[in-house]
Structure 1
Amino acid sequence: MKLNTIQPAAGAKHAPRRVGRGIGSGLGKTAGRGHKGQKSRSGGFHKVGFEGGQMPLQRRLPKRGFKSVSLKYNAEVTLAALERLGAAEVDLPTLKQAGLVGQIARVVKVINSGSLSKAVKLTGVGATAGAKAAIEAAGGSVA
Structure 2
Amino acid sequence: MKLNELRDREGATHSSKRVGRGIGSGKGKTGGRGVKGQKARSGVAINGFEGGQMPLYRRLPKRGFRKPFAKSYNAVSLGRIQAAIDAKKLDAKETVNAEALVKAGVIRRAKDGVRLLASGELKTKLAFDIAGASKTALEAVEKAGGSVKLPEPAAAAE
Shorter-chain TM-score range: 0.7 to 0.9
Matches within 5 A, 1:29-108: 29-41=29-41, 43-67=42-66, 73-86=72-85, 87-88=92-93, 89-108=95-114
Work out the CA distance in 1 between the residues paired with 2:13 and 2:32. 23
Aligned residues of 1:126 and 1:142 also touching (Cα < 8 A): no
Q: Hey, which of these two has a bigger chunk of helix by percent?
A: 1
Aligned residues of 1:79 and 1:113 also touching (Cα < 8 A): yes
Work out the CA distance in 2 between the residues paired with 1:138 and 1:35. 76
Residues matched between the structures, number: 142
Work out the CA distance in 2 between the residues paired with 1:119 and 1:6. 61
Query: Per-residue deviation at 1:106?
Result: 1.9
Could you say if the C-alpha distance between residues 120 and 32 of structure 1 is closer, same or farther in structure 2, counting changes exceeding 3 Å?
Answer: same
Could you say if the C-alpha distance between residues 3 and 34 of structure 1 is closer, same or farther in structure 2, counting changes exceeding 3 Å?
Answer: same
Query: Per-residue deviation at 1:115?
Result: 0.3
Work out the CA distance in 2 between the residues paired with 1:2 and 1:126. 60
SS in 2 for 1:18: coil
Could you say if the C-alpha distance between residues 138 and 10 of structure 1 is closer, same or farther in structure 2, counting changes exceeding 3 Å?
Answer: closer
Q: Under a length normalisation based on structure 1, what TM-score does the superposition of the two structures give?
A: 0.78
Gaps of 5+ in 2: 86-91, 150-158
Could you say if the C-alpha distance between residues 121 and 138 of structure 1 is closer, same or farther in structure 2, counting changes exceeding 3 Å?
Answer: same
Matched, 1:135 2:134: no
Identity, % of aligned positions? 47
SS in 1 for 2:44: coil
- Farther-moved stretch of structure 1 (96-105 vs 76-85): 96-105
SS in 2 for 1:73: coil
